[in-house]
Amino acid sequence: MGKMVDMSDFFQNLVGKVESVLGGDVQTLVKQQLQALTQPQTIQTLLDRADQAGLGDKVRSWISQSGNVPATPDEIRAILGSGTVHDLVEKTGLPADAVVTALVHFLPDAVDKNTPEGVLPAAGTTKSA
């Protein structure tokens, strides 16, 4: 339990330092990008990449209704791919380490919230009444 609090404190401290240096709101910048990363087709792409990197079970835990298994920065990089990380750096203006650290914190919950039924929604489908 103590380690989780320490990581949270560490993350908040890092966010504070990055925000003070860049004069921006890291959480807002990253959360805006999370919307694009958590579309049904993008979640499927994340899952495919995770499978290729041997991390599929981790991403499936975010999709399922069970607890989210945390990811390390290296695992987030493997799941997203260097091109996506580079695009996020370009879009946010943040250093890659700050982007990846923020995604370690936010991506599992964002995927979880966008898969409330515990399964990957089909791309382009809408809920019917």
pLDDT in tens, 48-87: 999 999 999 999 999 998 889 999 999 999 999 999 999 9
**Can you tell me the distance from the alpha carbon of 14 to that of 104, in angstroms, rounded to the nearest whole number?**
13
CATH of domain 26-114: 1.10.10.690
Question: Which CA distances in Å does 32 have to 12, 64, 91, 92, 109?
Answer: 18, 23, 10, 9, 14
Question: For the chain, how many helices (H) and strands (E)?
Answer: 7, 0
Does this model's pTM top 0.75? no
- What are the residues whose beta carbons fall under 8 Å from the beta carbon of 120, sequence distance 6 or more? 40, 43, 44, 47, 63
What's residue 64's pLDDT?
Answer: 92
Residue-range domain boundaries for the chain: 26-114
What's residue 66's pLDDT?
Answer: 86
